[in-house]
Amino acid sequence: MNLGTLYYERSALDEAAECLAAPPRSIPRTRWRITTSAARSKHRASLKKARRHLRQAVALDESHADPHYNLAFVCEKLGDDAEARRHWQRYVDLDPAGSGQAKPAST
């Protein structure tokens, strides 16, 4: 196990990406690309699952700010900027003071 993997398992994705940007000399580049690609795919699948559940939460209670906050965060990570903007705006509309109650869901 290496430092990049530890960061990844703790959802510290920026740190993991920095550590995983280049393979250690002991690992062939082809195997490294396949491994990092698989890890990214796994993470993306988790985000898609989170988005599906958060959409359900929003559908159950449109007036609650936290699911909008988390859905915006996840959509942003998935590159869905239009949906992220809609939910960021809805979050701000519901909680204009930014009460600090909303926390990112674990991804």
pLDDT in tens, 26-40: 555 555 565 556 566
Residues of the chain with pLDDT under 50: 1, 107
pLDDT in tens, 7-23: 666 776 666 666 655 55
Angstrom CA distances, 81 to 9, 76, 78, stand at 26, 6, 8
Structural domains in the chain? 3-94 (1.25.40)
pLDDT attached to residue 61: 83
pLDDT attached to residue 32: 53
pLDDT attached to residue 97: 83
Single pTM value for the model: 0.58
